[in-house]
Amino acid sequence: MKRCFFDLSFSELSELLKEYGEPDFRAKQIWQLVYKNLNLSPETFPAVPKELRQKLKEDFEFAPISAIKKVVSQDKRTEKYLFQLADGKKIEAVLMYYRERITICISTQVGCAMNCAFCATGQMGFTRNLSAGEIIGQVLFFAAELKLTEKKLSNIVVMGMGEPFHNFENVMKAIDTINHAEGFQFGERRITVSTVGIVPMIEKFTKAKRQINLAISLHAPSNKIRDQILPINKKYPLEKLLETCQIYVDKTHRRLTFEYALISGLNDSVEDAMRLSKLLRGMLCHVNLIPLNETKKFERKGSTMERANDFKLILDKAGIPCSIRLKRGVDIGAGCGQLVTQT
Ligand code: SF4
């Protein structure tokens, strides 16, 4: 199998071209062709010697993912893609149009090992990590699609299939590439990585002092409830997770986002809202309340909007910044926690 070109960092590409006997400027030239011009056909690289173009084409894969299915939501504002990887495995990713921005939600693993009870991806089990190149491949695919209609990507959320911090190195390598100043130049502040709460990786991320936004899937105000829906909570309980979150905020001075899926009768009572307010009081954070999107193997339903509004009111009164997130793409199974590839 050919090596994926996007798996190469800029310095790895420079090193490789040096080995090929190419001049120093060549790495920057090729990097810009790929990541600035989105030219993914090495045989057409302008001003690159024919022999090198041929070698790159023979040695490297420039299309590590291919779109095999696209579904569009009724309101036309959400598009879900099914991609096939070089080994035949499949992943999904989602494109969302908002009034003033275009966001993509990309995947980092085939399946997921975290087994969150309400999540369709978790219900699939874990197959493998995506390489950095396969993660970048999704971003470049969408960027190229949007370029056809002169549109541009505004935000990337790393919240699709998989737990990004369970594939930490590849995720960070992918972000380094799409952020690279000579290439795609996608600012870290426009990228959000979400984790279910793998404490040692949050600590590692904190030490890296990146500008990337961090979102934590909290979903419960107590261990008793969290244990029921997020198995990771048994390993890293709420108090340890929140202590780590506070250290993150103190060290980086960056605002954290907490995702909270409102599940009817489980975590959406007045007491739950009060408990949550108490837990988060004083922390630089924002809470996203999302009435749960239903999945096949989880019996419970999402909270009503009325309940969501009541919950929000309690957080508002306690001074905890929060908003109710609009459901997107639920009719095509593209909502939070709905990505699955058994189709
Ligand atoms: S919610 Fe995220 S971490 Fe949990 S099973 Fe689904 S993909 Fe994995």
**How do residues 32-82 score in pLDDT, each as one tens digit?**
999 999 999 999 999 999 999 999 999 999 999 999 999 999 999 999 999
Cα four-point dihedral sign 330, 335, 337, 339: positive
Query: pLDDT-derived band of residue 22, with 50, 70 and 90 as boundaries?
Result: very high
**Please, what are the domains in the chain?**
3-61 (1.10.150.530), 65-332 (3.20.20.70)
Longest dimension (CA), the chain: 69
Active-site option among 22, 92, 134, 163: 92
Confirm whether 163 is a catalytic residue: no
Please give the Cα distance from 202 to 197 (Å, whole number).
Answer: 7
Are 170 and 137 spatial neighbours (Cβ–Cβ below 8 Å)? no
Atom of ligand 1 nearest to the CA of 336: 1
- What's the pLDDT score for residue 296? 82
pLDDT (tens digit, 9 = 90+) per residue, 105-158? 999 999 999 999 999 898 889 999 999 999 999 999 999 999 999 999 999 999
Q: State the distance from the centre of ligand 1 to the C-alpha of 328, rounded, in angstroms.
A: 18
- What's the pLDDT score for residue 55? 96
Ligand 1, from 105, 118, 121: best to mutate by most atoms within 8 Å of Cβ? 121
Q: What is the mean pLDDT of residues 331-335?
A: 79
Q: State the distance from the centre of ligand 1 to the C-alpha of 198, rounded, in angstroms.
A: 12
Contacts 24+ apart (CB under 8 A), 217-220: 217/116, 217/259, 217/261, 218/258, 218/259, 218/260, 218/276, 218/287, 219/259, 219/260, 219/261, 219/263, 219/267, 220/267, 220/272
Please give the Cα distance from 325 to 159 (Å, whole number).
Answer: 15
Any alpha helices (H) in the chain, and if so which ranges?
10-19, 26-35, 50-59, 120-124, 132-148, 168-179, 199-208, 223-229, 232-235, 238-252, 270-280, 305-317
Confirm whether 92 is a catalytic residue: yes
Q: How many Cα atoms sit within 13 Å of 281 on the Cβ side?
A: 9
Greater model confidence, 294 or 20:
20
Atom of ligand 1 nearest to the CA of 109: 7
Pocket of ligand 1 (CB under 6 A): 112, 114-116, 119, 121-122, 161-163, 196, 337
Cα four-point dihedral sign 124, 129, 133, 135: positive
